[in-house]
Amino acid sequence: MGRDKALKGLLFISSISFLFFIGRTLVQPILPLFIISVGASKMELGMILSAAFFTSVVTRIPFGILSDRFGRWSFILIGLASSSLSFILFFFVEEPIHFYPTVILLFLSWALFGPSAFAIVSDIGSMRQRGETMGKFFVSVGIALVSGPLLASLLTLYLPYREVFLLTSIPSLIALLLLIVFKSKGVLMEGGSVKDRGVEVNRPKGSLMRVLHSRNVILTCYSDLSFSITTGVFATLFPVYAEEDLLFTPALISLLFAVRGLANTLTRMPSGRISDRIGRKKPYLAAVSILFFTYILISEMRDLPSLVVAIIIYGAAWGIRVVPSHALIRDNVSQEDASVAMALLQTTFDAGRAIGSFIAGVTATLFPIPFIFKLTALLLIPSIIAFGLGVKEGEKR
């Protein structure tokens, strides 16, 4: 792929991804609050979010396989349409049980969109530049992590939750229209079916089995599973904890998520470049180790300035972790299995979020939320040890 074509392709997929992710990041800090405001208990909150992530778990890998076979851009298009529709349906929610189909559709759109988009990006640069290329792409996602919560903070000052969700459908609709226009002109970069890309597929072995043959892939997924469990607990309970115990407003809670997103964004591209130079393993291990201590800090902080510092560290460590994990996975699989490998990593993350949301709902009825943060942080220790001892860079199946 020529350099100019690669840059244009990266810019286009990054723009589409920004519009997709800004919707998800906008509602992230207020979705638990919306669910509680309609009358759900903390247990119901955990069940609803767990069901949503579980939907993504069971569909992401099949969608990744199908997108490799039949065309990645088609799955991205369907994902954008599903995202817009789900935000519109939130406007009509009246009871807690109504959240199940809406959040399931929302996370189904992520399962459709994510693996295909990440696989397209991972194929743009060479292996030596993959970390930097993916770092540039993840900056667009990181910008969404900042601008989404900022918009949520602004909108919740003037609008009720359901109207905020209705407005959130607009970015995905814009991305959908852009994709349709470019697709009709036939100017999209590679991302068609395996047959269209001229890749030979060894069908008898199966994409998933080939991906799982890599020890590095398995260990990275295990480490991400542990991290995502803690993330699921945090995402489910922190907004509720901040509102009920710390007496923060929804606007202030959204601002804290924006602060985390900003720190996340600023560290993504540097971490990609660093991982190209010193390897994926060291920055990943450093990030997850920092995250362990960050959860402990957040559980102890009660005043806003100290909590902001802890949230900044949290976001920075998360951002440092993202690019090396995706680049390491891609380093260890072939082009034909790229979507499946990305789907596996994201499925692992969603599985952890589902488990974390479930744990949050159950334990919130038994223990104080700060104690739950400390308890789940302990899950990171075995994964740090396993990743540090088991991952061997420079090996490819």
> How wide is the angle at C-alpha 358 spanned by C-alphas 45 and 347, nearest 5°?
110
pLDDT of residue 192: 45
Write down the domain spans for the chain. 3-186+205-390
How far is the CA of 162 from the CAs of 34, 144, 154, 169, 247, in angstroms?
A: 8, 21, 15, 12, 22
pLDDT of residue 294: 93
SS3 content of the chain, % helix, strand, coil (to 5): 80, 0, 20
Nearest-angstrom CA–CA distance, 72 and 76: 6
How far is the CA of 150 from the CAs of 25, 87, 298, 394, in angstroms?
A: 9, 18, 21, 41
Nearest-angstrom CA–CA distance, 219 and 210: 15
pLDDT of residue 193: 43
Nearest-angstrom CA–CA distance, 316 and 62: 32
Residue range 3-186+205-390, CATH number? 1.20.1250.20
Question: Consecutive 10-residue runs of the chain (397 residues): their mean pLDDT?
Answer: 68 90 92 94 93 85 78 89 95 94 92 82 65 73 88 94 95 93 66 46 59 84 92 93 93 94 85 84 91 92 92 92 83 75 80 91 92 92 91 64
pLDDT of residue 211: 82
In one-letter notation, the amino acid at residue 129 is Q
How far is the CA of 230 from the CAs of 77, 82, 89, 204, 234, in angstroms?
A: 31, 27, 29, 37, 6
pLDDT of residue 302: 86
Residue 97 DSSP label = G
pLDDT of residue 298: 92
